[in-house]
Structure 1
Amino acid sequence: MDRDKKERLEAKGWKVGTVSEFLELTPEETALVEIRLALSRTLNERRQRLMTQAELADKIHSSQPRIAKAENGDVSVSIELLIRAILATGATPQEIGQVIASTGSIIA
């Protein structure tokens, strides 16, 4: 949000902050959410280039609805399943590490 818009909203009595502030997330919780979303986006991008959700589901012995949930960042999907699915698209552990590192999450 640009500075002018923020100032206008605050002048009208609105409180402006981050999602993490609103939800009162710890730095660790914020980092975990960012990592999960980055993995979900990566899975979706890689899978779309290579195969259907059903094909990926067969490959990792899961279901198409579960893959859809994984790609949408559903919290019911484990990070383990996200990583298994990304690996099944041909990604290396190093590439997955780069995805995680790219979130820029710093836990103080």
Structure 2
Amino acid sequence: MANSTRRGFLKKGMFGLAALPLGMGVLTSKSFAASLPPLSEDAPNAKALNYKKVAADASSHPAFKEGSYCDNCMFWQPDTQGCTLFQGFSVEAKGWCQSWVQRPGS
């Protein structure tokens, strides 16, 4: 009897461990994205990289290319709507900064 209880406990434990990464991925990405504060254009690092919430506002910048948006940049993090250049902040999907580099395959 003790063996079947131990065996059942181990099976349930293994199932729980296997399901844990799936649950964590679903829970953390959505809630984390919602918890990131938006990047202000007035933030020092945003000013340094000429970040604009609306890409069209950057059309006069020499590095701007038509169709270059945060959401097709290699630094864009779709899970969190963040950017590796602006850690801890969300950026607008249709925003732009001078460090834009096209994401491979987009």
TM-score grouping bracket, smaller chain normalisation: under 0.3
TM-score (norm: length of structure 2)? 0.24
TM-score normalised according to structure 1 size: 0.24
Q: Higher relative contact order by CA 8 Å / sep ≥ 6: 1 or 2?
A: 1
